[in-house]
Amino acid sequence: MQMSCRCLRTKGEDMRKWLLVYAVIALTGCLIIGIRLVRATGDELYRVVEQHNWSKAAFRLVAGPLSGVWLVQHDAHPQDRPLHDLFYSKWQVPNQGRPRRYSCCNNEDCYPTPIRYEEGRYWALRREDQKWLLIPQDRLEQLQADPVESPDHQSHACISRPAVGNHVYCATLGEGI
């Protein structure tokens, strides 16, 4: 009997150690996001807020198994997964020729999309609500000193979800535009 009690005590101690490790990881992530929120301005602020929401989701994913609750990430557009791994995960926001620092992608907002040129401006179609959004000139790759080309000759954009706002973080033109 004493041996089984000792094993239970050891398992409980191990669980407490893992909970402490997860808590430190989560707090570190929140601290990093908090610092970025203080430094961010304009469109960068919207991107950091979206990344903050993803960090909360990541914490729930990590902490879920410890609490006995399994959380599954919903991949609403699995057809974009190969493009994400190849292109979107490495794509960074144009910075007018200066080194790029922020990711365009938060794992759900980049996809191939129609882009049109109308009255001297470029517009991208957001797939969630079929709304045409103005692409700021400083976010269109072809107008940058260091443009990133489309990997498959289609137009691509990273666009905020309707609930977040009407922001185009990055866009690159396909052939023929």
* Residue 15 Ramachandran class (φ > 0 left, ψ -120 to 50 alpha, else beta): alpha
pLDDT the model gives residue 162: 93
pTM: 0.57
What is d(CA 97, CA 78) in angstroms, rounded to the nearest whole number?
Answer: 33
- Report d(CA 7, CA 162) in Å as an integer: 52
CA distance 161 to 168: 10
Q: Per-residue confidence of the chain (177 residues) as pLDDT tens digits?
A: 444 444 444 555 666 666 666 666 766 665 565 555 555 555 555 555 555 555 555 545 554 444 443 333 335 566 667 777 888 889 999 988 889 999 988 888 899 999 999 999 999 999 999 999 999 999 999 999 999 998 889 999 999 999 989 999 999 999 866
At what angle are helices 42-67 and 2-39 packed, to 10 degrees?
170
DSSP 116: E
pLDDT of residue 4: 45
**Tokens standing for 31?**
């601290």
Pick from 111, 131, 135: which is nearest to 123 by CA?
Answer: 135
Distance CA 92, CA 100 (A): 6
Buried b (16+ CB within 10 A) or exposed e, 2-12: eeeeeeeeeee
